[in-house]
A = this chain, B = another copy of it.
């Protein structure tokens, strides 16, 4: 491709001064009257400021090297594990090295679930040799207590289980095999449409007397990676084991069941839930120069599932949150409001860190303006999704023209993040904001052994951190 950019306009790398016409008009009208404190009218210095932030990120960004260490040297860091503690130490040291005004830990007790060394699944027909298939325990599952062999009933919804005669279910595995709806453009919506099987499948199975739940992995990819993820038990309902099958394995099991409805599945898992462990959120702060009492939080979660390095889930969110503050400092901006990077502990199987952060915020009577979370991967930026009243969403959307040169201008209402949502009830911030990146690749690797550092692209990662820093710069300057 020798002349790819023959006529491409070189927009970036030069000064971009944006004067949205609507902005200019509204300034004209308001002439003579003082600007309200919560104004979001941007001025010409803002486009220069954002360019400075992106230059710093793209030329001297530290997210990628930080992520290499967190994922490669420390690795998987499930709540309660020694690696989770190493990650806490790393987070604190990294923030201290970045020279934030204040770095501290928030103690929190977290669940301590351990997968164990043996995980085995096998389809056993009447006469054939067994077929070994890739399985993994769902997070929080009880063990099988040795080999657990039983027949299999395939279903496509929780509702279907409720309507099955108890005699048909008793002593068998319920096999939840409803796939992602691939027609949905947002893979997150497809996940949302399938994940009840993983979350509540074991409860509904046990209610009807089943011995366990087998769940199709939460992905539209067809491969051999089983996807773990959290599952629930309910009070008064027997705790039966829950396991994920890779999508290829689920397809195979479904196919074999059609030929032989009496086949059996043998599952062996040694997982166990130990006593809660002491752990920490890691918090780094730059004090606001004008309104130090108003807080803007930016965070990701430090824990990951145990199967992989937790690169996109959510190592990227952690390094981007640290980087967002570092970029402001390195670009020479002293935020007017207090900005906090928070590495939350235990998002994956408890949200204890997010709950504790909110509890302390309420206890300390803090004023929270907004919180941003990056927990959808470190892919190329799209923009931000906002939980807040329509006027607040509209105010944030007026920053979009400044973010457009960086392809981060898609600012719409939507889900923010699991760790920051407890702030809503606790301290009522005006906006809870999710960093939105392109998500087409996310569920291929989500909660699997394939969520590794090499899946992260340096430029995509750094662009994301710079997008978050830019939004913080604007929020800190203009309020909401």
Chain A residues with CB under 8 Å of chain B are: 1-13, 54-55, 58-59, 181-189, 191-193, 195, 199, 220-221, 229-230, 313-314, 347-348, 375-376, 380, 382, 385, 387, 405-407, 413-415, 418, 438, 440-441, 444, 446-447, 457-460, 463
Contact = CB atoms under 8 A, between A and B. Distances in A.
A447 B4 CA distance: 13
Nearest to A229: B2
A1 B446 contact: yes
A13 B183 contact: yes
Nearest to A181: B13
A183 B8 contact: no
Given A185-B12, A185-B54, A6 B441 contact: no
B12 A184 contact: yes
A72 to B, nearest CB: 16
A192 to B, nearest CB: 3
B440 A3 contact: no
Contact of A182 (B9, B59, B183, B348): B59
A55 B181 CA distance: 10
Contacts of A184: 10, 12-13
A347 B11 CA distance: 27
B189 A8 contact: yes
Given A13-B183, A199-B2, A446-B1, A441 B415 contact: no
29 contacts: A1-B313, A1-B347, A1-B375, A1-B418, A1-B447, A2-B348, A3-B418, A5-B188, A5-B191, A6-B192, A6-B415, A7-B387, A7-B414, A8-B189, A8-B415, A11-B186, A11-B189, A12-B184, A12-B189, A13-B184, A54-B185, A59-B182, A185-B405, A220-B459, A221-B458, A380-B438, A407-B438, A441-B457, A441-B460
Given A185-B406, A438-B438, A459-B187, A192 B58 contact: no
B418 A188 contact: no
A5 B418 contact: no
Given A1-B375, A2-B348, 14 more contacts: A1-B314, A1-B347, A1-B418, A2-B230, A3-B415, A4-B375, A4-B376, A5-B192, A8-B186, A10-B189, A55-B183, A59-B183, A187-B459, A440-B463
Nearest to A5: B192
A313 B2 CA distance: 11
Nearest to A186: B12
Nearest to A466: B185
Contacts of A1: 313-314, 347-348, 375-376, 418, 446-447
Contacts of A11: 185-186, 189
Contacts of A458: 221
A251 to B, nearest CB: 16
A379 to B, nearest CB: 8
Contacts of A189: 5, 8, 10-13
B195 A2 contact: yes
A192 B10 contact: yes
A352 to B, nearest CB: 13
A440 B415 contact: no
Contacts of A181: 13
Contacts of A447: 1
A182 B183 CA distance: 36
A145 B12 CA distance: 43
Contacts of A313: 1
B182 A58 contact: yes
Specify which of A10, A407, A414, A460 lies most central, judged by the most chain B CB atoms within 10 Å of its CB.
A10
Nearest to A405: B185
B186 A414 contact: no
Nearest to A232: B2
A442 to B, nearest CB: 9
Contacts of A230: 2
Contacts of A347: 1
A75 to B, nearest CB: 19
A463 B438 CA distance: 13
Contacts of A4: 188, 191-192, 375-376, 415, 418
